[in-house]
Amino acid sequence: MRIDILTLFPEMFQSPFSVGIFKRAIDQKLVSVNTHNIRDYTRDTHHTVDDYAYGGGAGMILKPEPIFEAVESMKSDIYSKEGADALPILLLTPQGRLFTQEVTHELSRYRHIILICGRYEGVDERVRQHLVTDEISIGDYVLSGGELAAMVVVDAVVRLLPGVLGSEASPLDDSHTTGLLEYPQYTRPAAYRGWSVPQVLLSGNHAQIAKWRREWSILRTLERRPELLDKANLSLEEKQLIDGRKQS
């Protein structure tokens, strides 16, 4: 997958992408992440990227020209023949569609995505209307810019790409992928300060372990994020388990 990120602060992206799973994915060429400074696409001598809002008001607005030109130069670089209809161009903004695990799966299917990081008080509306194909918010709070949000999106998407995580199966067990939160996990030692690992996990009985994990996923979701259960795929027996808990 190729990811292009338009930002006024490319240096913010250096450290997150140079460690761990991410670094390995880049080294193995499973993903390429390119940051582009929006300022490099200005044409005036002062390299102006923002301006006052028409109609007045505090704060500066990101100008449309450098953002359009950056995206268009990227498209013409790569898609000179094929066209780029299926290329998502995403604006990170608190006004966007909420970023969920479902959206990570959706984005992980593309060969190429472009992310635009907003800054200051906003982005000229024509960027939203005539350039971007989708707007993404990582939550109901306001960050000082889209950069941290873009890192969240890129991290969550890249770990789903085939070969990026050691075990192919692990992203499927993630909290939210199953519609449920993940079950409790333990490692050695089996007893620590008198707190023991549940016996069933030491039993080697895989069917029992799977049953225990499923039940804990359900109970943990009930306790912490009950609204997720409405969409989860539960058997009759599992629904009864929940009703029993609710009554007790």
Residues forming the site for ligand ADE (CB under 6 A):
92-94, 118, 137-139, 141-143, 145-146, 149
Q: In residues, how long is the chain?
A: 248
| Contact status, residue 121 vs residue 60, Cβ threshold 8 Å | yes
Nearer to ligand ADE by Cβ, of 4 and 164: the residue is 4
Nearer to ligand ADE by Cβ, of 98 and 172: the residue is 98
Catalytic positions, please? 94, 121, 159, 174
Least CB distance to ligand ADE at residue 194 (A): 43
Least CB distance to ligand ADE at residue 136 (A): 6
Backbone region of residue 194 per phi and psi (left: phi > 0; alpha: psi in -120 to 50; beta: other values): left
DSSP 185-238: ---S-SEETTEEPPHHHHS--HHHHHHHHHHHHHHHHHHH-GGGGGTS---HHH
Nearer to ligand ADE by Cβ, of 64 and 180: the residue is 64
Residue 212 in tokens: 């225990």
Nearer to ligand ADE by Cβ, of 153 and 180: the residue is 153
Least CB distance to ligand ADE at residue 133 (A): 16
> Measured at CB, which residue is nearest to ligand ADE?
149
Least CB distance to ligand ADE at residue 94 (A): 4
